[in-house]
Chain A
Amino acid sequence: DAKTTQPTSMDCAEGRAANLPCNHSTISGNEYVYWYRQIHSQGPQYIIHGLKNNETNEMASLIITEDRKSSTLILPHATLRDTAVYYCIVRYSGGGADGLTFGKGTHLIIQP
């Protein structure tokens, strides 16, 4: 799986949009971008994933650049409960037999 690079930490004011970047310059054509987050002392929570089109669900939006070398996770109206470590993971489609490789992620801190 391709490697990803994320900032170590970010701050965001409550109520504002939180934009979390991820670089995956070595991504291959059949690799998807997945985002998970881990709130302290809990298991990771799936947020969203995409291949090349922008995606949106009830939790977040995922913007993938045209060359697919980077992406941005957007939490539109951040709340204090969004404070967590966010992981960007690149994975082959249909890679059900493969475990996930977690990097260090981005520690997002939502400020009141």
Chain B
Amino acid sequence: GAVVSQHPSRVICKSGTSVKIECRSLDFQATTMFWYRQFPKQSLMLMATSNEGSKATYEQGVEKDKFLINHASLTLSTLTVTSAHPEDSSFYICSANSPGLAGGPTDTQYFGPGTRLTVL
């Protein structure tokens, strides 16, 4: 259980175009999803928190008008990189928060396989 998918797994686009990445929780409902970015040889960095039915919360330094997030349902969040430039080339990874087991206090984030974006 607790599977998160991302689509596409890899995308190459021209500078100035927009790219949409989908993140789905396949076997659970996620009120909250997260978007991370990872540059080569670096660790994951949280970009934004996506809440179903409300506006996303962005980390400091992440442009909300460039990285548009929509969380229209409990199983789907999308990240759109608008007017992409070569410096936006990165590995984008989403995660979804799965509630704890019945009676348990903790919840766990499960990650998608990632999307490799290359902007030419």
Interface residues of A (CB under 8 A from B): 32, 34, 36, 38, 41-46, 49, 51, 87, 93-105
A75 to B107, CA, bound (A): 23
| Nearest CB of A to B1, in Å | 11
Quick check: B114 and A46 within 8 Å, CB to CB?
Answer: no
Most chain B Cβ neighbours within 10 Å, of A43, A46, A95: A43
Give the distance in Å from the alpha carbon of A83 to the alpha carbon of B32 in the complex.
30
Main SS of the interface on chain B? Answer: strand
Q: Find A32's partner among B45, B49, B106 (CB 8 Å cutoff).
A: B106
Interface presence of B67 (CB below 8 A): no
Tell me, in angstroms, the Cα distance from A82 to B112 when the chains sit together. 19
Chain A contact residues: helix, strand, loop or mixed: loop
B68 CB–A CB distance under 8 Å: no
Interface residues of B (CB under 8 A from A): 2, 4, 6, 31-32, 34, 36, 43-46, 49, 51, 59, 91, 93, 95, 97, 99-100, 105-114, 116
Once bound together, how far apart are the Cα atoms of A87 and B43, in whole Å? 10
Given A49-B108, A93-B105, A96-B31: A105 and B43 interface contact (C-beta under 8 Å) = yes
Q: How far is the CA of A38 from the CA of B43 in the complex (A)?
A: 10
How many angstroms between the C-alpha atoms of A49 and B2 in the bound complex? 15
A44 CA / B100 CA spacing, docked (Å): 19
Known: A43-B111, A45-B111. A99 touches B43 (CB 8 A): no
Find the A residue at minimum CB distance from B109: A100
- Does A94 contact B44, Cβ atoms closer than 8 Å? no
CB pair B43–A43 under 8 Å, yes or no, is: no
**Complex interface: chain A residues within 8 A of B100 (CB):** 94
User: Judging by beta carbons under 8 Å apart, are B2 and A103 in contact?
Assistant: no
